Amino acid sequence: MSGARRLLATAFGLGRLPAPGTAASFGTAAFMVLACGLGPNGGPVPPRLQVAVFCSLVAVVCVLGVLLGNGAQRDFGCKDPGGFVLDEVAGQALALLPLLPALSLTGVLAGFALFRLLDIWKPWPISRLEELPGGLGIMADDLLAGAIAAGGTAAARAAGWL
């Protein structure tokens, strides 16, 4: 795997840290907090653009993940290499999308915990998606975990818990 591909596949080195999936999820959540800020005033990304920016980011990471995932299986020598963390980046961002444009610390922590729980536990039907071939299989299970976590964060926010 070339240096640039490895850099992208490991989310700029997060995949080389201990517990790479958790590191990538934490890095993604931290990046969203830095970009969007906590509360309604936002950060460098204006509140009115936050959802569009992060939906676009998820889409780009998904495409890169599928394309790079095909080669990563070959390069890392296993079906879902631990160091390949674009799946965690996309899934974690997806889990936090319902909290935009006003992220809260409790919301980010809840979305992080729910996504990690689903990503590690992989209940059915999440576990079935791992059977898809190549990069699609690498990405799909984390995207479903992120979508289910997004439903949880959206419900918790609607209930006034976040």
The pLDDT of residue 99 is above 90: yes
The pLDDT of residue 86 is above 80: yes
The predicted pLDDT at position 1 comes to: 58
State the average pLDDT for the chain. 92
Model confidence pTM above 0.75: yes
The pLDDT of residue 100 is above 80: yes
Confidence bin at 126 (pLDDT 50/70/90): very high
The pLDDT of residue 74 is above 90: no
Confidence bin at 62 (pLDDT 50/70/90): very high
The enclosing H or E element of 14 equals none
Q: Which of 39-53, 99-113, 140-154 has the lowest mean pLDDT?
A: 39-53
The pLDDT of residue 124 is above 70: yes
Mean pLDDT of the 16-41 span: 94
Name all contacts of 69-72 with Cβ < 8 Å and 24+ positions apart.
69/9, 69/134, 69/135, 69/136, 69/137, 69/138, 69/139, 70/134, 70/135, 71/1, 71/5, 72/1, 72/9, 72/135, 72/138
